A = this chain, B = another copy of it.
Amino acid sequence: MQVQQVTKESKVQDSQLENRARLLVKCPDKPGIVSVLSTFLYKHNANIIESSQYSSDPENGKFFIRLEFHCDNLQEKRPQMEKEFAQIAWDYNMSYNIFYRNQRQRTAIYVSKELHCLLELLWAWQNGDLDTDIAVVISNHEEARSIVESHGIPFHYLPANKDIRKEVEAQQIQLMEEYNVDVLILARYMQILTPDFVNHFENRIINIHHSFLPAFIGANPYDRAHKRGVKLIGATSHYVTNDLDEGPIIEQDVERVDHRDDVPTLKKIGSQIERRVLAKAVKWHLENRIIVEGNKTIVFH
């Protein structure tokens, strides 16, 4: 089976990726920031492809910007540009991050028994919607092995439970290092993570929770939604922090349900929401569209 042969589309030709980068900046808001950033890029003959910005408060707030630019011979110019930009950042108290498009992010997907979110990510990835290398899939069950391996992706079975959590997480961290992973996706991975593990990958673990947070934090949200008699059910993708289901929300969506829908039906409807919400959140993360600020996200669609 060679599903990978499905053509991968991309707006940017591969040969041009080395001349593309994204600059993310956050700093105290004051006049002149856009001027200095755009003038810097112009001086280096970089053309702005996409630009999004946000001021948290016009008077006395913070300024956030995401710039994607094209620059011929970017790899040659890169050291000089980085040096100059470091000085600008210093002058304007900027925190910043430059993502070069030729350095594709590497993903690990964590999954348990329910495979719908994993399958959606594989589908989106084959379809060219997720600009990433899926480096490895980790699971505490064997259900996903055949589908994962049929895509040529390494699969690691690591049993997990409360008693062996520490040892398993140590193995997982080692695997993440071996596979050089940038971002971890919990695609219905039904295990609690320890604070140590979470801290190790701050703002780099994306979870899908099967409720419209902050409703139904914790276990069995569909059962509780059924009991409460809600008329919409939802799903929430968020970065994992050490407060359960309280991390910065990336994306949410809902579907209408009614009194006829029992818990298994809610789960089926919910699985449709989960897979599309998680796929969007992962896509935006990989496109560097998300800035975490406090416990909230700024998402530059």
Interface residues of A (CB under 8 A from B): 1-3, 6, 9, 11, 30-32, 34-35, 38-39, 41-42, 45-51, 53-55, 58, 70, 115-116, 119, 123, 127, 129, 143, 146-147, 150, 212-216, 228-232, 234, 248-254, 258-260, 262, 264, 268, 271-272, 276, 295-299, 301
Chain B residues, Cβ within 8 Å of A39: 35, 38-39
Q: How far is the CA of A264 from the CA of B20 in the complex (A)?
A: 20
Chain B residues, Cβ within 8 Å of A230: 213-214, 249, 252
How many copies make up the complex? 4
Say yes or no: A34 contacts B34, CB within 8 Å.
Answer: yes
Most buried by B among A229, A230, A254: A229
Q: How far is the CA of A245 from the CA of B116 in the complex (A)?
A: 32
Q: Which residue of B lies closest to A9 (CB)?
A: B264
Q: How far is the CA of A147 from the CA of B272 in the complex (A)?
A: 22
Say yes or no: B229 contacts A296, CB within 8 Å.
Answer: yes
Secondary structure of the A contact surface, majority rule: mixed
Chain B residues, Cβ within 8 Å of A9: 264
Chain B residues, Cβ within 8 Å of A253: 232
